[in-house]
Amino acid sequence: MAANLELAPPPVVVDGLLAVPIDMTAIAGTIVFDAAAQTAVADITVTFNAGIADGHAVFDLRQTITAAWLDGVSIPVAQLASHDFGGGANAGQRILESLLLAGSAHTLRLTYALGSPQASTAGSYQPALTWAAGPRLAWNFGFTDLGGGRYLEAWIPANLTYDQFSLDLDIEIRNTVIAHSVISNATIAVVAANHWQLSWPSSITALSTLLEIRATDTITSQTDTVALPISGTSVTLEAWKFAGSAINLTTELTNMHNALFANEASAGEYLHGNRFVAMLRDDSSGMEYDGGTTTSLGALRHELFHSWWGRGLKPALPRDGWWDEAWTVYQMAGGTGAVPLDFLDSAVTLSARNPWVRATPGGAYTRGRELFDGVASLVGVTNASQWMNEFYAANSAAPVNTEALEQYLLARSGADTLVDAFHRFVYGFADPAATPDLWLKDDPAHTGANFWPGTFWDSPDLWIRNGPDGGLDHQNPAAGQDNWFHARVRNRSATQRIEHFAVSFNVKSFAGTQFSYPGDFLPAVAAATGFDLAPGAERIVTQRWPSASVPAAGVHTCLLAAAICRGEHPAAGAHVWENNNLAQKNLTVVELAPDEWFVLPFVIRNDVWRWPWFVLTVAREPRFERAAVELLHAAGPELLRWRAGKSWRGRLESDARLKSAAPPFDCGGGHAEHKSGSWTSRNPDSFWKQRIGERVAGQFSTGRVSNLPITLPDRDPLRVGLRIHAPRDAKPGERFRVHLIKRSPLLRRALGGVAVEVRIR
């Protein structure tokens, strides 16, 4: 998939054409102004890759095209018409009526006369191209978030804001002796008098570019520098104003200096190189760009903060533009978290589900601030700021959407109430009319009941993949790289549609039992969101597992997931087998040759039961009933002799040898010795051999099911190993699973388990 297309709207049929968003990589061309004729002509070429499906490319331009060429071949202008995508006023897009193969590379060249953009007129600072005596040109891009067609597409062919590309413009004003100046966040090279080459980096999107051209005698400027406290970058500050304005540039440069310094100290690194450009105006306008602004003095501090939130971390689509306004207003107001969430308040839509909406709602500034006040009240003001700064640092290289923000805050904070808050106060959904029933299968035979007495530690609705390949087969996590969590979420209700839900993914780096909600599930490693799950339907959601949190090779991982929606959260204290919103994947996959063995390190303990006696059961699949399975522990057979004697608790607590053989289990992932990998007959001296010991505590008899009794001290964890031998007569390509189950004779039920799938090489 081309860069950032995962953030683009999905392909959609519009007026009989399959409209497919594209990936623009570079935009370049010339704009020539003829001062004598007071005209301007643009000749722009877009280099792009077609989208994720065969279809018709989507882009936007709010000028009247006079000629067009696709890959150097002339095409009729009528094949580039604008179409209504259902996003509201001024939200149309152009569709290229030439069928393009998915992922194919192309160029689209357009020529047109520059004129007033055919776009929304929202905002107080309008895009304008005017001439005055001299002749003097006045041209400003005039962006706004408040209406469609008012980003780069007003003047230059561009994409929605998910897309990142470079922009190079050669701009010349002919037939005038009046000197002109360029106010821009671009890199500016002067070719000759009134002739410039402007370049923006490949990280920009359609909302990034500040550009104004004015007669030099109509404006004035001053500069200053600031050394930023985190990056250490020395940033040149450029402040411009109109000639005759009473604005004191020296004072405002000091204000800019102080604000930029404070912003980097509080929010993270400045991402826009070594310049900041401000066009200061005597009105009420305010607009942010990458390392720049056109603004009134009253909005200056607000717009400066947007170089972090909004143009450092960028919204993926216009519908995501609410969070940078909301967070900025919250911060400028002091960020107190003084107003808790009130779910009796009316619902508000800050992020519409239609991806073609082109305007940020006005409620972003008011109700959006209230949302962040409520979030800070819920999780703590310091935590809210810290986690938002972490989100900024983790994602600022690319645009991000609203869902990513929700997912991060849920995973990081563990506050499942945030799912309710986003449901009602961001996506604008009403509360469900009936109680929802989200569920995840515990076992292939599970039909959705909350209580499931069978296998629950190897959910078929949870799996891990080493790449974003859409595979359905579980893989062991690959250390040192990103992996991907998957969950198949089901709607058990016959009538209630689930408008919005979230799934948390957490990892325990040991094979434990009796995991309970929320403590073992939240906070989480990651979370995913989904929308519009019809009654009886199912949906697979995925989320990246960042490489930094993937354990090292040989460290066992147990995957836990919780499905959450407005109106249904798992009950506090619930275990996987007691709640159908919870699921567990305690499966290790190993490849063995015939007659090889593998050891699974795991932890077993008596978490809550005063009764110390348990049974470990091994269940094997048909044809592999004779696969040898052993329990390993440093104490050897003494492990199973613990149950002898009446004073079992005193014996266990006084047996220093056994206790030292089972110190509290660490979560691994950062220890160099873990890099020795799995413990197999091909790697007999693994790190785990020293941690567990190679003495056989007990041999499970052959057969479909075999048992070993064991006594566990109250809450004392034991690190043990399960050694599984591949039969000598196993055939290449065969697979079999071995389940180790912890059972309570007192309760007559399973309390947990682990599973190993052996694949014969």
The yes-or-no verdict on residue 300 having pLDDT over 90 is yes
Handedness of CA 66, 71, 74, 80 (dihedral sign): negative
Q: pTM of the prediction?
A: 0.90
Residue 361, in any domain of the structure: yes
- Separation of alpha carbons 266 and 261, rounded Å: 9
Residue 672: partners with Cβ closer than 8 Å, 6 or more residues away: none
Identify whether residues 693 and 667 lie together within a single domain: yes
CA 153 to chain centre: 27
pLDDT band at 515 (very low <50, low <70, confident <90, very high): confident
Q: Which residue has the tokens 């003097």?
A: 136
Q: Is residue 230 in some structural domain?
A: no
Of 229-233, 424-428, 600-604, 664-668, least confident by mean pLDDT is: 664-668
End-to-end CA distance of the chain: give it in Å, rounded: 32
Whether residues 506 and 570 share a domain: the answer is yes
In terms of domains, do 539 and 610 share one?
A: no
719-723 average pLDDT score: 90
Last residue of some domain: 390, 425, 460?
425
**Could you tell me if residue 218 is inside a domain?**
no
Region 189-208 average pLDDT? 98
State whether 538 and 572 are in the same domain: yes
Residues found in the chain: 761
Residues 562 and 650 in one domain: no
Are 494 and 476 a contacting pair, CB within 8 Å?
Answer: no
Tracing tokens 């929606």 back to the chain, one arrives at 565
Give a yes or no: residue 623 inside a domain: yes
Tell me how many domains the chain contains: 4
Yes or no: say if 760 and 732 are a contact pair by the CB < 8 Å rule. Answer: yes
pLDDT (mean) for 231-253 = 97
Residue 535 near residue 496 (C-beta atoms within 8 A): yes
Indicate if 377 and 394 belong to the same structural domain.
yes
- Residue 673 confidence class, pLDDT cut points 50, 70, 90: very low
Residue 200 lies in a domain: no
Average pLDDT, the chain: 91
Question: Can you tell me the distance from the alpha carbon of 739 to that of 457, in angstroms, rounded to the nearest whole number?
Answer: 9
* Boundary residue ending a domain (530, 557, 585): 585
Q: Could you tell me if 95 and 166 lie in one domain?
A: yes
Tell me, yes or no, whether 705 lies in a domain: yes
Residue 131 lies in a domain: no
The verdict on residue 677 lying in a domain is yes
pLDDT value at residue 654: 35
The H or E element spanning position 263 is helix 249-267
CATH of the domain at 450: 2.60.40.10
CA pseudo-torsion sign 324, 326, 329, 332: negative
| Coil, helix or strand at residue 625 | coil
- Confidence check: pLDDT of 406 > 50: yes
- Return the H-helix or E-strand segment holding 242: strand 234-242
Cis previous bond, 523, omega within 30: yes
Q: Report the alpha-carbon distance of residue 421 to residue 406 in Å, rounded.
A: 10
- What pLDDT, on the 0 to 100 scale, is given for residue 678? 79
CB 200 within 8 Å of CB 209 = yes
Q: What angle do the packed helices 381-395 and 402-413 form, to 10 degrees?
A: 130
Closest CA to 554 of 510, 524, 489, 516: 510
Find the domain containing 609 and state its range.
591-760
Rg of the Cα trace of the chain? Answer: 31
Provide the CATH number for the domain around residue 707.
2.60.40
* Band of pLDDT at residue 690, cut at 50, 70 and 90: confident
CA distance 486 to 489: 10
Which of 585, 607, 639 is the last residue before a domain boundary? 585
Q: Is the pLDDT of residue 646 over 80?
A: no
Nearest Cα neighbor of 22 from 104, 88, 110, 81 is: 104
> Is the domain of 565 the same as that of 619?
no
Q: Which band of pLDDT confidence, cut at 50, 70 and 90, is reported for residue 513?
A: low
User: Do 670 and 549 meet the contact criterion of CB atoms below 8 Å apart?
Assistant: no
Tell whether 535 and 658 lie within a shared domain: no
Extract the tokens encoding 215.
Answer: 């007669």
Q: Do 545 and 598 reside in the same domain of the chain?
A: no
* pLDDT value at residue 668: 26
CA distances from 215 to 140, 191, 509 (A): 12, 17, 65
**Are residues 601 and 714 part of one domain?**
yes
How far is the C-alpha of 270 from the C-alpha of 266, rounded, in Å? 11
Residues 365 and 504 in one domain: no
Q: Is the pLDDT of residue 643 over 90?
A: no
407, 410, 412, 414: CA torsion to nearest 10 = -160
- Residue 396 has a pLDDT of 85
**317 secondary structure, DSSP code:** S
